[in-house]
Structure 1
């Protein structure tokens, strides 16, 4: 469920449901997908959540891949932990955890305008024993887990100390660390600060052992709505107890005890972060858990002193791509002050792919010229043993039909060439791994599809020569070195342009899948029954009649159809990967790649059909549908990739 599907399809539908059913449906579906063989691969492929290892670091001495974590309150039953672990998170919080289950009966509120979730029962959880059973069965991921421990409502200070120590001891085998959430609204109303500090000290001392001895890092959980005066009174205890880190909590509590978690928590969180950082110095690890709804919020939290962030309501309102977007923004902040590394030489690797792309363009232009004039080549005539004039005399539609196949193939070849050149020059040259993946996947399919030409026993020497010339270029281009971080400014805001672009991205993803399906179908038909009913209607003939004209005619046509299907599938994979992984704010070259890459194929397809009079609406309907996706997708992507958003990005450079 990446952002392009979440924002455009699933969020509008889910937000029509009550909050709890919507949450359970979403988490249940993701959990089910992750448990299906290959499910996590699908999640990773559709969302491409992985970022560059430049973000790898530590949190309280625990190695984390990314400084973005998942709040435990979002998935209290652990229904989708394996799926959520694929979203670009570096660690996970689990909790709140209490020694006994606290069941919930009240619905969760959702204020869409304010982007806020309201939990009337904020301590709801399955309890320690059920959690231990879940952990023993495994959750399907290896991300570090930080457990947020909380005393039972109504517990005395002595009972709270015993409960927290029991939970820490039993959860230690599964824990990277603990968030100690003592200062709940109830405690603040019923305990003295000294009593709360005593509980904190007892738990802190119990976890002070080295990790080899069962100890784990202990982070103090500071309530988001704790006042400046309250923090000043708490500060001496925090200094004395020497916590391993501190979490600025995610919720503002109402007078009725309901937890409000949403966008409005950002400003209080920033104030708390500055207050804590100023009082406790630069060395203490800080985690911000409130109000992170867009990458800029995470950057603001880091500027205020946070070392990492936890996501909750932002994932609900912004979408599952938020961790990736934050990671990309953090990467750019790391590299923006440094000079980009020197670009590799033309002959290092990327130049060969540029030459391959130019070769495809040139080959496509020549093929188009031949297909629009003589149609057949001397070796085609030799294979048939029949003069084109006699062929035309036998059936006046045959040469026009073959021209239609060959012109559409030529247009697809030009499209592939444009896409390959753009990906090589703007992506492979700069070490962008997603462009290499697109080229590798598309190229392997394209060269492998050469063997489809043999489906009916026809060997095309010109295609074989082209493949022999281009294959070494492909191999040399794929020698690209290790990936580099992107030096392009990353999108920071959930702007109207960004939201519109999610719809444009969805349309191009659908286009990519549709073209891929079309390529497979055409290639399959080409190596089996060759014709569809509308083809035979246009030719006013049956396969038997064509076979009577020349026994080698159908194999010749089959070779064209199979070749076009393979080329279309290859082109579709490149377009699909660009749509899935390449859309970004201000990426003008990607927009132009999609625009210029699609134009030759559509121009060739529509022009040749109208030129030869093959205008069956049913036959052309898939092409009309594909063109609609292409045109609308470009329109919806334009503001984000080429318009005002892009202009803001240029100013940032």
Structure 2
């Protein structure tokens, strides 16, 4: 459920449902998908969070791949942890976990205008026994689990201590680290500090440094009380401090955007009070990448997401990670990488793209004039005049297949050249993946030409020339992080761009399906009913005229289907992974790459009089998606880097 589908389709529907219903449905659906064969691959494909050593860190010996964590209260049952682990999270919180189950008797409430979620019972959870039973099962991911323990509401100081230690003992086999959430507003700062120190001391006696300990501090603590607490807990003996996500109200715990201001103030004060090496985790009010950057600048080491995923979408952790990389590049923390030479790989792909464009132009010229080549006529054993005499519309019909193939070839050439120049040259993983996937399909589709026993020497020569270029361009090279500045705020332009991305992703899927269908028809029945109506004939009649005529037409159809599928895969990956704020070159690539295909398809159909509405309806639909996507994405992709607040 990436942002382009969440913001446009799923969120409007889910927000019409009661909060619990929407949450449970979403988490269960994601969990189900992750457990299905290929489900995790699908989730990774849609999200495509590229790992980067730049973002890796270590917390008390625990390797953290990304500085973004997942809040435990968002998915208290852990239903979708496996599904959400590829989104760009570096760790997952489990909890709060109390000795006994705590049930909320009032409903969770959303306040969309304020971007707040109100929990009537902030410590609602399944209890220790059920949580341990769940953790005993295979987690399905390798992210570290930070387990948050909590005593039962209203517990005495002694009972709280016993419950915390008992819970940690039960949970220790599954915890990478513990969040000790023992603070009680009914007690003084001194009493809370005394409990924290005792828990920390006894936990160290049991597990030593094996289980890192982080003190969980509620977000609604006053600054004065926080200072008293920190002065008495000896921060140097802890592995970190977690600043909570909720603000208490008369109706429960409010988790949402207004918490950011409080988080900023308290994180800044914590950083002043604690050693610079102590890990600080902020988790309140992070709804857009800029929120995370602000908290990291204020002193946080990591951020943890909750309500931001509900209001901004599942793509938020990826956007935050990319924003952190961009910010480090802007600050000069990461040096400029030296661009590889032309012949190291990307240059060969540029030449391949130019070759495809030249080949497409020549094929268009031939298809629009002579239509057939001498070796085609030799295969049939007919002259051009004899071929035309067999059916007055036959050459026009063959021209429409060949012109559309030519337009697709030009489109592929433009995409390949642009992806090589702007993507492969800068070692962008997504660009290389688009080229690799499309190229493998494109060259493999050559064998579709042989489906009916017709060997096309010109296509064979072209493939023989271009294939070495493709192989040379795909030589291994270390991926480099994208240097484009991602959108850091969830403004109208970003929301509008989600609709534009939805249009282009839908276009890529539609064209891929169309390419498969056309290729399938080409190697099986060859014709659809509208084709035969246009030709006023049947396959048997064509076979009676010349038994090699249908194989020749099939070769054209299968070739066009394979090329269209190859083109669609490149477009789809670009739409899924490449769209970003200010990536102007990609918008122009979408525009210029799509025009040859649509111009070729529409012009040749109207030129030969093959204007059946049902036959052209898929093309009309595809063009509508193409135009809408470009219009909606234009402001976002043409926007230059902004000075963010």
* CA distance in structure 2 between the aligned counterparts of 1:311 and 1:554, rounded to whole angstroms: 60
Classify the secondary structure of the residue corresponding to 1:188: coil
Residue 640 of structure 2 is aligned to residue 647 of structure 1? yes
Kept in 1: contact 2:192–2:229 (CA 8 A): no
Q: 1:47 to 1:277 in 2, by over 3 A?
A: same
Residue 196 of structure 2 is aligned to residue 200 of structure 1? yes
Kept in 2: contact 1:147–1:178 (CA 8 A): yes
Residue 275 of structure 2 is aligned to residue 281 of structure 1? yes
Which residue is 1:26 aligned to? 26
Which residue is 2:238 aligned to? 243
Which residue is 1:161 aligned to? 161
Q: Residue 215 of structure 1: CA displacement?
A: 4.2
Q: Residue 530 of structure 1: CA displacement?
A: 0.3
Which residue is 2:264 aligned to? 270
* CA distance in structure 1 between the aligned counterparts of 2:206 and 2:493, rounded to whole angstroms: 50
Kept in 2: contact 1:96–1:147 (CA 8 A): yes
Classify the secondary structure of the residue corresponding to 2:95: strand
Structure 1 vs Structure 2 CA RMSD: 1.3
Q: Residue 510 of structure 1: CA displacement?
A: 0.7
Which residue is 1:220 aligned to? 215
Q: 1:340 to 1:215 in 2, by over 3 A?
A: closer
Offset from partner CA, 1:347-388 (integer Å, 9 cap, x none):
110000000000000000000000000000000000000111
TM-score, normalised to structure 2, is 0.98
Q: How many residues align?
A: 642
Offset from partner CA, 1:325-363 (integer Å, 9 cap, x none):
000011112222144222111111000000000000000
Kept in 2: contact 1:294–1:326 (CA 8 A): yes
Residue 315 of structure 2 is aligned to residue 321 of structure 1? yes
* CA distance in structure 1 between the aligned counterparts of 2:459 and 2:235, rounded to whole angstroms: 77
Offset from partner CA, 1:62-106 (integer Å, 9 cap, x none):
110001000000000111111011111000001111011112221
Classify the secondary structure of the residue corresponding to 2:185: helix
Residue 609 of structure 2 is aligned to residue 613 of structure 1? yes
Write the mapping of 1:28-107 to structure 2, written as runs, cut at 5 A: 28-107=28-107
* CA distance in structure 1 between the aligned counterparts of 2:636 and 2:233, rounded to whole angstroms: 46
Kept in 2: contact 1:350–1:424 (CA 8 A): yes
Kept in 1: contact 2:427–2:477 (CA 8 A): yes
Residue 173 of structure 2 is aligned to residue 173 of structure 1? yes
Kept in 2: contact 1:207–1:215 (CA 8 A): no
Once the two structures are overlaid, the 10-residue window that deviates more, 543-552 or 195-204, is: 195-204
Once the two structures are overlaid, the 10-residue window that deviates more, 613-622 or 589-598, is: 589-598
Kept in 2: contact 1:51–1:327 (CA 8 A): no
Which residue is 1:346 aligned to? 342
Once the two structures are overlaid, the 10-residue window that deviates more, 404-413 or 227-236, is: 227-236
Residue 185 of structure 2 is aligned to residue 188 of structure 1? yes
Q: Residue 229 of structure 1: CA displacement?
A: 1.7
* CA distance in structure 2 between the aligned counterparts of 1:616 and 1:239, rounded to whole angstroms: 80
Kept in 2: contact 1:340–1:487 (CA 8 A): no
Kept in 1: contact 2:236–2:278 (CA 8 A): no
Kept in 1: contact 2:235–2:274 (CA 8 A): no
* CA distance in structure 1 between the aligned counterparts of 2:43 and 2:235, rounded to whole angstroms: 45
Q: Residue 209 of structure 1: CA displacement?
A: 4.6
* CA distance in structure 2 between the aligned counterparts of 1:440 and 1:564, rounded to whole angstroms: 19
Classify the secondary structure of the residue corresponding to 1:525: helix
Which residue is 1:308 aligned to? 302
* CA distance in structure 2 between the aligned counterparts of 1:16 and 1:417, rounded to whole angstroms: 45
Residue 549 of structure 2 is aligned to residue 556 of structure 1? no
Classify the secondary structure of the residue corresponding to 2:136: helix
Which residue is 1:638 aligned to? 634
Residue 405 of structure 2 is aligned to residue 405 of structure 1? no
Classify the secondary structure of the residue corresponding to 2:99: coil
Classify the secondary structure of the residue corresponding to 1:117: strand
* CA distance in structure 2 between the aligned counterparts of 1:57 and 1:318, rounded to whole angstroms: 26
Kept in 2: contact 1:261–1:291 (CA 8 A): yes
Q: Residue 156 of structure 1: CA displacement?
A: 0.5
1:231 to 226, 230, 235: 226
* CA distance in structure 1 between the aligned counterparts of 2:460 and 2:97, rounded to whole angstroms: 65
* CA distance in structure 2 between the aligned counterparts of 1:339 and 1:171, rounded to whole angstroms: 43
Kept in 2: contact 1:428–1:480 (CA 8 A): no
Which residue is 1:457 aligned to? 453
Classify the secondary structure of the residue corresponding to 1:359: helix
Q: Residue 214 of structure 1: CA displacement?
A: 7.6
Kept in 2: contact 1:350–1:425 (CA 8 A): yes
Which residue is 2:253 aligned to? 259
Offset from partner CA, 1:142-177 (integer Å, 9 cap, x none):
100111111101110000000001111111111111
Classify the secondary structure of the residue corresponding to 1:102: coil
Offset from partner CA, 1:40-59 (integer Å, 9 cap, x none):
00000011123423211112
Q: Residue 241 of structure 1: CA displacement?
A: 7.4
1:386 to 382, 385, 390: 382
Kept in 2: contact 1:209–1:216 (CA 8 A): no
* CA distance in structure 1 between the aligned counterparts of 2:78 and 2:434, rounded to whole angstroms: 34
Kept in 2: contact 1:68–1:310 (CA 8 A): yes
* CA distance in structure 2 between the aligned counterparts of 1:291 and 1:339, rounded to whole angstroms: 32
Q: Residue 240 of structure 1: CA displacement?
A: 6.7
Which residue is 1:334 aligned to? 328
Structure 2 unaligned regions, length at least 5: none
1:584 to 572, 580, 586: 580
Classify the secondary structure of the residue corresponding to 2:86: coil
Q: Residue 225 of structure 1: CA displacement?
A: 1.1
Q: 1:272 to 1:92 in 2, by over 3 A?
A: same
Q: 1:240 to 1:390 in 2, by over 3 A?
A: closer
Classify the secondary structure of the residue corresponding to 1:73: coil
